[in-house]
Amino acid sequence: MKDPIVDEIHKTREKIAARLKYNARALGDYLRGRERQRKGRVVCLSPKKRPAVSV
């Protein structure tokens, strides 16, 4: 089963990699630059509350 979101991610990754001539260092620099441009957090890493378990 194909996932359209995963397909879109793969296509975008391929376009960026091709533009950077598949240079891993350039890709890292590009991604770090994009992270700096973001205004907010993309992922919240705060712990989730678990429901109480009675014994």
Greater confidence (49 vs 9) lies with 9
* 26: Cβ contacts below 8 Å, ≥ 6 apart: 20
Comparing 6 with 41, the larger pLDDT belongs to 6
- pLDDT tens digits, 15-44: 999 999 999 999 999 988 888 888 776 666
Give the model's pLDDT for residue 6: 94
pLDDT value of residue 52: 78
Task: Read off the pTM.
Answer: 0.60
- Other CB atoms within 10 Å distance of the CB of residue 21: 8
Phi–psi pair at 2, nearest 5 degrees: -85, 140
